[in-house]
Amino acid sequence: MTAVDNKQPSPAAAILHNPRRLEGKVAIVTGGSRGIGEAIVRAFVHHGAVVVVADIDDAGGHALAAALGPHVCTYVHCDVAEEADVDRAVTTTLDHHGRLDVLCNNAGVLGRQTRAAKSIASLDAAEFARVLRVNALGAALGMKHAARAMVPRRAGSIVSVASVAGVLGGLGPHAYTASKHALVGLTKNAACELGEHGIRVNCISPFGVATPMLVNALRQGGGLGDADQAAASEEEEEVEKMEEMVRSLATLKGPTLRAGDIAEAAVFLASDESRYVSGHNLVVDGGVTTSRNVIGL
């Protein structure tokens, strides 16, 4: 007689036989037109989900949906900072698919990388509010409207993309850091409330991924201009420079952090494999926020 209850196999056992870990699920991915969001959309579709991309980059979103196929991916224009847009994205999803299983709050902005913006002494209040509005309020609005779809079914998974800047100071601009700390806190609070309804709420905190957001910021380097407005960089040299910087800072040596690594974490938190995980911040950072090899171990 063993202590293990074999009558209730964990869903992970079934998943081992089913490579499509999100089969039958309906998901919304905000900021899914490019970067980490695009990788999440592709991974969700690969694992059998039907995905609605909600973004302000209409050209990128439509192109991605067309590439993946309209039966598995559609696009809806949605500025996450505008409640009417978020409401419409959820309503459209319910109208077309009848349910919402997963919300991935991925949309985010780094904020302007001007020299002045880097100092708290010359804080631009309007820009601070803009970053908080997209990164924190945007996720809260997503949770609000996802909850109205998920609560009646007593099921659902909300996965937000926070950041290592939501764990430690010194890893991002002031407004961005404040917004991501807010998002980690919001995740825990929402998990408390929505857990009562069988809904899980988690977040992922990536270290640096060489997406347009980060590469543009690096390009502007001490920088002038607006990292959010700059065109996406395809230049390999800049990507390599960014990836080398990230590799040098991570205590884990070997792998290079890529958007696909964050997508894998999102698949796990969206799927039933993580059915007992809620209120968690899954840090994907090669040890940056937990370890520093100062004595040469």
Residues contributing to the site for ligand NAD (CB under 6 A): 30-31, 33-37, 55-57, 60, 78-81, 106-109, 134, 138, 161, 163, 206, 208-209, 211-214
Nearest approach, Cβ of 179 to ligand NAD (angstroms)?
8
- Rounded to whole angstroms, how far apart are CA atoms 297 and 293? 6
Q: Give the residue with the Cβ less far from ligand NAD, 132 or 194.
A: 132
Q: Give the residue with the Cβ less far from ligand NAD, 133 or 197.
A: 133
Residues in the chain: 297
Nearest approach, Cβ of 10 to ligand NAD (angstroms)?
30
Nearest approach, Cβ of 97 to ligand NAD (angstroms)?
20
Sign of torsion over alpha carbons 66, 70, 73, 79: positive
Nearest approach, Cβ of 156 to ligand NAD (angstroms)?
20
CA dist 147 to 90, 111, 167, 230, 279, Å? 10, 28, 26, 34, 15
Residues tagged active-site: 176
Residue type, 15: I
CA dist 110 to 51, 163, 171, 178, Å? 25, 11, 11, 11
Q: Give the residue with the Cβ less far from ligand NAD, 156 or 166.
A: 166
CA dist 161 to 91, 262, 273, Å? 22, 9, 19
Contact 220, 173 (CB under 8 A): no
Q: Give the residue with the Cβ less far from ligand NAD, 155 or 249.
A: 249
Q: Give the residue with the Cβ less far from ligand NAD, 142 or 156.
A: 142
Nearest approach, Cβ of 83 to ligand NAD (angstroms)?
12
Q: Give the residue with the Cβ less far from ligand NAD, 149 or 288.
A: 288
Nearest approach, Cβ of 9 to ligand NAD (angstroms)?
34
